[in-house]
Chain A
Protein backbone atom coordinates (compact mmCIF):
# COMPACT_ATOMS: atom_id res chain seq x y z
CA UNK A 1 0.00 0.00 0.00
CA UNK A 2 1.33 3.44 -0.92
CA UNK A 3 1.40 6.02 1.85
CA UNK A 4 2.60 9.57 2.29
CA UNK A 5 5.61 8.60 4.37
CA UNK A 6 8.74 10.23 2.86
CA UNK A 7 10.68 6.94 2.92
CA UNK A 8 8.64 5.92 -0.13
CA UNK A 9 10.30 8.78 -2.01
CA UNK A 10 13.78 7.32 -1.48
CA UNK A 11 15.57 6.24 -4.65
CA UNK A 12 16.66 2.58 -4.44
CA UNK A 13 19.61 3.17 -6.78
CA UNK A 14 21.00 5.98 -4.61
CA UNK A 15 20.04 4.52 -1.23
CA UNK A 16 22.95 2.02 -1.06
CA UNK A 17 25.62 3.65 1.16
CA UNK A 18 28.52 3.61 -1.31
CA UNK A 19 26.38 4.88 -4.18
CA UNK A 20 24.93 7.55 -1.91
CA UNK A 21 28.45 8.72 -1.00
CA UNK A 22 29.50 8.78 -4.66
CA UNK A 23 26.45 10.83 -5.56
CA UNK A 24 26.94 13.20 -2.59
CA UNK A 25 30.57 13.77 -3.57
CA UNK A 26 29.74 14.45 -7.20
CA UNK A 27 26.77 16.62 -6.23
CA UNK A 28 29.19 19.14 -4.70
CA UNK A 29 31.44 19.12 -7.76
CA UNK A 30 31.39 20.02 -11.43
CA UNK A 31 33.48 16.91 -11.94
CA UNK A 32 35.90 14.79 -9.92
CA UNK A 33 38.73 12.45 -10.80
CA UNK A 34 38.01 8.76 -10.31
CA UNK A 35 40.92 8.61 -7.83
CA UNK A 36 39.53 11.56 -5.84
CA UNK A 37 36.12 9.90 -5.50
CA UNK A 38 37.75 6.57 -4.60
CA UNK A 39 39.81 8.18 -1.82
CA UNK A 40 36.98 10.37 -0.56
CA UNK A 41 34.43 7.55 -0.42
CA UNK A 42 37.12 5.17 0.88
CA UNK A 43 36.52 2.22 -1.43
CA UNK A 44 38.70 0.18 -3.77
CA UNK A 45 38.99 0.80 -7.52
CA UNK A 46 36.91 -2.29 -8.30
CA UNK A 47 34.10 -1.39 -5.89
CA UNK A 48 33.96 2.15 -7.25
CA UNK A 49 33.94 0.90 -10.86
CA UNK A 50 31.05 -1.46 -10.10
CA UNK A 51 28.97 1.16 -8.32
CA UNK A 52 29.68 3.80 -10.96
CA UNK A 53 28.55 1.31 -13.64
CA UNK A 54 25.23 0.93 -11.79
CA UNK A 55 24.84 4.71 -11.56
CA UNK A 56 25.71 5.09 -15.25
CA UNK A 57 23.11 2.49 -16.18
CA UNK A 58 20.54 4.51 -14.21
CA UNK A 59 21.61 7.61 -16.15
CA UNK A 60 22.82 9.41 -13.02
CA UNK A 61 26.59 9.54 -13.64
CA UNK A 62 28.76 10.01 -16.70
CA UNK A 63 32.43 9.09 -17.12
CA UNK A 64 34.78 11.31 -19.07
CA UNK A 65 38.07 9.82 -20.26
CA UNK A 66 41.09 12.04 -20.72
CA UNK A 67 44.81 12.38 -20.21
CA UNK A 68 47.06 14.29 -17.84
CA UNK A 69 50.31 14.31 -19.76
CA UNK A 70 50.59 10.75 -20.98
CA UNK A 71 48.62 9.29 -18.10
CA UNK A 72 45.01 8.29 -18.76
CA UNK A 73 42.55 9.76 -16.29
CA UNK A 74 38.84 9.19 -15.76
CA UNK A 75 36.58 11.97 -14.54
CA UNK A 76 33.14 11.44 -13.07
CA UNK A 77 30.24 13.86 -13.08
CA UNK A 78 26.54 13.81 -12.35
CA UNK A 79 24.10 14.10 -15.22
CA UNK A 80 21.16 16.55 -14.89
CA UNK A 81 18.96 13.51 -14.15
CA UNK A 82 21.44 12.46 -11.45
CA UNK A 83 21.34 15.89 -9.82
CA UNK A 84 17.53 15.91 -9.85
CA UNK A 85 17.38 12.37 -8.43
CA UNK A 86 19.86 13.18 -5.64
CA UNK A 87 18.01 16.39 -4.78
CA UNK A 88 14.78 14.41 -4.46
CA UNK A 89 16.47 11.66 -2.43
CA UNK A 90 18.06 14.17 -0.06
CA UNK A 91 14.75 15.98 0.33
CA UNK A 92 13.13 12.67 1.35
CA UNK A 93 15.91 12.04 3.88
CA UNK A 94 15.49 15.53 5.34
CA UNK A 95 11.74 14.99 5.55
CA UNK A 96 12.33 11.77 7.50
CA UNK A 97 14.70 13.49 9.92
CA UNK A 98 12.25 16.39 10.30
CA UNK A 99 9.59 13.91 11.41
CA UNK A 100 11.72 13.18 14.48
CA UNK A 101 10.67 16.57 15.80
CA UNK A 102 6.99 15.99 14.97
CA UNK A 103 6.01 12.93 17.08
CA UNK A 104 2.38 12.98 15.94
CA UNK A 105 3.44 12.09 12.43
CA UNK A 106 5.33 8.96 13.50
CA UNK A 107 2.33 6.67 13.20
CA UNK A 108 3.02 3.55 11.24
CA UNK A 109 1.35 3.49 7.80
Chain B
Protein backbone atom coordinates (compact mmCIF):
# COMPACT_ATOMS: atom_id res chain seq x y z
CA UNK B 1 0.00 0.00 0.00
CA UNK B 2 2.82 2.35 0.95
CA UNK B 3 4.56 1.57 -2.34
CA UNK B 4 1.39 2.23 -4.33
CA UNK B 5 1.23 5.64 -2.68
CA UNK B 6 4.88 6.35 -3.60
CA UNK B 7 4.17 5.47 -7.24
CA UNK B 8 0.99 7.55 -7.37
CA UNK B 9 2.72 10.57 -5.77
CA UNK B 10 5.70 10.25 -8.10
CA UNK B 11 3.52 9.87 -11.20
CA UNK B 12 1.45 12.89 -10.18
CA UNK B 13 4.58 14.98 -9.62
CA UNK B 14 6.05 14.01 -13.00
CA UNK B 15 2.74 14.87 -14.69
CA UNK B 16 2.66 18.22 -12.89
CA UNK B 17 6.22 19.01 -14.01
CA UNK B 18 5.31 18.20 -17.63
CA UNK B 19 2.16 20.31 -17.43
CA UNK B 20 4.02 23.30 -15.97
CA UNK B 21 6.70 23.00 -18.66
CA UNK B 22 3.96 23.11 -21.33
CA UNK B 23 2.48 26.23 -19.73
CA UNK B 24 5.86 27.94 -19.83
CA UNK B 25 6.30 26.95 -23.49
CA UNK B 26 2.83 28.28 -24.40
CA UNK B 27 3.43 31.57 -22.59
CA UNK B 28 6.80 31.97 -24.33
CA UNK B 29 5.13 32.10 -27.76
CA UNK B 30 5.77 35.85 -27.83
CA UNK B 31 9.43 35.22 -28.73
CA UNK B 32 9.04 33.99 -32.35
CA UNK B 33 6.54 36.81 -32.95
CA UNK B 34 9.11 39.28 -31.58
CA UNK B 35 11.78 37.88 -33.94
CA UNK B 36 9.40 38.13 -36.88
CA UNK B 37 8.53 41.78 -36.15
CA UNK B 38 12.20 42.64 -35.61
CA UNK B 39 13.07 40.93 -38.89
CA UNK B 40 10.44 42.87 -40.84
CA UNK B 41 11.73 46.14 -39.33
CA UNK B 42 15.31 45.28 -40.32
CA UNK B 43 14.13 44.27 -43.79
CA UNK B 44 12.53 47.69 -44.28
CA UNK B 45 15.06 49.91 -42.52
CA UNK B 46 18.33 48.45 -43.85
CA UNK B 47 17.73 49.47 -47.50
CA UNK B 48 16.50 52.87 -46.36
CA UNK B 49 19.80 53.52 -44.56
CA UNK B 50 21.59 53.27 -47.91
CA UNK B 51 18.95 54.80 -50.15
CA UNK B 52 17.89 57.80 -48.02
CA UNK B 53 21.16 59.35 -46.94
CA UNK B 54 20.10 62.99 -47.23
CA UNK B 55 19.65 65.17 -44.09
CA UNK B 56 15.97 65.35 -43.10
CA UNK B 57 14.96 61.89 -44.31
CA UNK B 58 17.94 60.38 -42.52
CA UNK B 59 16.98 62.11 -39.25
CA UNK B 60 13.37 60.91 -39.55
CA UNK B 61 14.61 57.37 -40.22
CA UNK B 62 16.90 57.50 -37.19
CA UNK B 63 14.08 58.71 -34.96
CA UNK B 64 11.73 56.03 -36.27
CA UNK B 65 14.35 53.35 -35.59
CA UNK B 66 14.96 54.59 -32.05
CA UNK B 67 11.18 54.65 -31.42
CA UNK B 68 10.90 51.09 -32.73
CA UNK B 69 13.75 49.85 -30.49
CA UNK B 70 12.25 51.56 -27.42
CA UNK B 71 8.82 50.08 -28.20
CA UNK B 72 9.99 46.56 -28.81
CA UNK B 73 12.23 46.64 -25.73
CA UNK B 74 9.23 47.71 -23.66
CA UNK B 75 7.22 44.82 -25.17
CA UNK B 76 9.93 42.29 -24.31
CA UNK B 77 10.29 43.53 -20.73
CA UNK B 78 6.54 43.18 -20.19
CA UNK B 79 6.60 39.45 -20.96
CA UNK B 80 6.25 37.27 -17.90
CA UNK B 81 8.45 34.41 -18.95
CA UNK B 82 11.12 33.38 -21.41
CA UNK B 83 11.51 29.69 -22.20
CA UNK B 84 14.76 27.99 -21.31
CA UNK B 85 17.52 28.80 -23.78
CA UNK B 86 15.79 31.87 -25.23
CA UNK B 87 18.50 34.29 -24.11
CA UNK B 88 21.32 32.14 -25.53
CA UNK B 89 19.55 31.64 -28.85
CA UNK B 90 18.68 35.33 -29.08
CA UNK B 91 22.34 36.25 -28.59
CA UNK B 92 23.20 34.04 -31.57
CA UNK B 93 20.58 35.81 -33.70
CA UNK B 94 21.88 39.23 -32.67
CA UNK B 95 25.49 38.19 -33.26
CA UNK B 96 24.66 36.94 -36.78
CA UNK B 97 22.70 40.10 -37.53
CA UNK B 98 25.52 42.34 -36.22
CA UNK B 99 28.10 40.68 -38.48
CA UNK B 100 25.89 40.84 -41.60
CA UNK B 101 24.78 44.38 -40.81
CA UNK B 102 28.35 45.61 -40.32
CA UNK B 103 29.40 44.14 -43.68
CA UNK B 104 26.31 45.50 -45.46
CA UNK B 105 26.78 49.03 -44.10
CA UNK B 106 30.54 49.20 -44.50
CA UNK B 107 30.62 47.90 -48.07
CA UNK B 108 27.34 49.51 -49.10
CA UNK B 109 28.06 53.02 -47.88
CA UNK B 110 31.56 52.93 -49.38
CA UNK B 111 30.70 51.46 -52.78
CA UNK B 112 26.95 51.26 -53.37
CA UNK B 113 25.28 54.30 -51.82
CA UNK B 114 21.82 54.87 -53.38
CA UNK B 115 22.09 51.64 -55.36
CA UNK B 116 18.93 49.53 -54.84
CA UNK B 117 20.62 46.50 -56.40
CA UNK B 118 22.84 46.37 -53.30
CA UNK B 119 20.54 47.63 -50.58
CA UNK B 120 17.39 45.62 -51.23
CA UNK B 121 19.12 42.21 -51.14
CA UNK B 122 21.11 43.52 -48.18
CA UNK B 123 17.87 44.11 -46.30
CA UNK B 124 16.94 40.49 -46.87
CA UNK B 125 20.39 39.31 -45.76
CA UNK B 126 20.30 41.40 -42.58
CA UNK B 127 16.78 40.23 -41.73
CA UNK B 128 17.56 36.56 -42.42
CA UNK B 129 18.86 35.72 -38.89
CA UNK B 130 15.57 36.94 -37.42
CA UNK B 131 13.43 35.03 -39.90
CA UNK B 132 15.47 31.86 -39.51
CA UNK B 133 15.31 32.27 -35.72
CA UNK B 134 11.53 32.78 -35.80
CA UNK B 135 11.08 29.72 -38.04
CA UNK B 136 13.20 27.54 -35.77
CA UNK B 137 11.42 28.75 -32.65
CA UNK B 138 8.06 28.02 -34.22
CA UNK B 139 9.17 24.44 -34.90
CA UNK B 140 10.43 23.80 -31.36
Taking Cβ atoms with an 8 Å cutoff, the residues of A that contact B are 7, 17, 20-21, 24-25, 27-33, 35-36, 40-41, 66, 68-69, 90, 93-94, 96-97, 99-100, 106, 108
Contacts and interface: CB of A to CB of B under 8 A. Distances in A.
A28 B7 contact: no
B57 to A, nearest CB: 31
Contacts of B96: none
B7 A97 contact: yes
A99 B14 CA distance: 14
A24 B13 CA distance: 10
A90 B84 CA distance: 17
**Interface range for B:** 20 to 34
Contacts of B6: 7, 96
Contacts of A35: 80
B71 to A, nearest CB: 13
User: Top 8 A-B pairs ranked by shortest CB distance?
Assistant: A36-B80, A28-B24, A96-B10, A28-B21, A24-B17, A32-B81, A33-B80, A24-B20
Interface in B70-119: 74, 77-78, 80-87
Contacts of B17: 20, 24, 27, 90
A28 B86 CA distance: 11
B106 to A, nearest CB: 33
Contact of A106 (B3, B13, B24, B86): B3
Nearest to B76: A68
